[in-house]
């Protein structure tokens, strides 16, 4: 194939241009789109990380983006989530959920919750600390699991490398351990890189993490070029 077409999903939150530029530098024909059909036809897909869980998933459902993303997953097209994009892959989150949210928000412990895309098991909750600052902003270490050490997304990635984070919420400890490629320790130990089949996610921002972050984007482009293997 020529340059793989990678669509960065636009759910109307923030500036996506740094992700597009990073993918273009890595050899992709990258663009943003909010069109479900463009999303379905992409060779690879990125869900970037800006905004709150509730607002993002609500827009994605109303616009048809959520169904398009799930179709892409079913078609085994490679998908990368960044920051909030990773969190949306999970079953539920409680960031920004209004107290009077409708039927898809359920009152359970830690709620109200809103359903995510449900690609991976687990929830996303706020980082809590009386000692450390939240949001968690800045460079922090990424510690690979044995699965992460052999994953193609992390080819050439150094154990304990520092990547750039900016977030107040993270995947909780109910995630499936088999999906966790790396963890970061800040207020608690949370999954910072995950994978389930053809779906990868990074809690940090590779597009803001200098050369090593660019390596991850390049590795993702390589995965797309190889058809998700």
| Residues involved in catalysis | 83, 205, 207
Q: Cis (ω within 30 of 0) for the bond into 112? A: yes
CA-based torsion, 99, 12, 208, 177: positive or negative: positive
Peptide bond between residue 135 and the one before it cis (omega within 30 degrees of 0) = yes
The half-sphere exposure of 61 on its side-chain side, counting CA atoms within 13 A, is 13
**Residue of 71, 77, 82 whose CA lies nearest to 13:** 82
Q: Report the alpha-carbon distance of residue 132 to residue 145 in Å, rounded.
A: 25
Host H or E run for residue 40: helix 36-41
* Alpha-carbon gap, residue 84 to 196, rounded angstroms: 17
CA distance 212 to 31: 22
Distance of alpha carbon 164 from alpha carbon 166, whole angstroms: 7
Name the 3-class secondary structure at 109: coil
Q: Measured in whole angstroms, how far is the alpha carbon of residue 183 from the centre of its chain?
A: 14
């Amino acid at each position: 194939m020529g340059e793989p077409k990678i669509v960065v999903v636009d759910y109307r939150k923030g500036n996506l241009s740094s992700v597009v530029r990073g993918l273009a530098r890595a050899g992709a024909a990258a663009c943003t789109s909010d069109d479900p059909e463009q999303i379905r036809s992409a060779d690879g897909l990125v869900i970037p990380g800006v905004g709150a869980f509730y607002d993002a998933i609500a827009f994605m459902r109303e616009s048809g983006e959520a169904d398009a993303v799930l179709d892409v997953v079913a078609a085994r097209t490679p998908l990368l989530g960044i920051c909030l994009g990773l969190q949306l892959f999970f079953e539920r989150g409680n960031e920004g959920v209004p107290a009077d949210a409708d039927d898809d928000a359920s009152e359970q412990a830690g709620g109200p919750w809103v359903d995510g895309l449900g690609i991976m098991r687990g929830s996303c909750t706020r980082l809590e600390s009386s000692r450390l600052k939240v949001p968690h902003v800045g460079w922090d270490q990424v510690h690979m699991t044995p699965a992460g050490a052999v994953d193609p997304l992390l080819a050439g990635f150094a154990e304990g490398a520092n990547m750039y984070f900016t977030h107040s919420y993270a995947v909780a400890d109910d995630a499936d351990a088999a999906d966790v490629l790396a963890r970061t320790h800040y207020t608690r130990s949370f999954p910072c890189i995950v994978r389930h089949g053809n779906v990868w996610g990074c809690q940090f921002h590779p597009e803001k993490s200098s050369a090593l972050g660019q390596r991850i984007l390049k590795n993702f482009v390589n995965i797309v070029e190889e058809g998700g293997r």
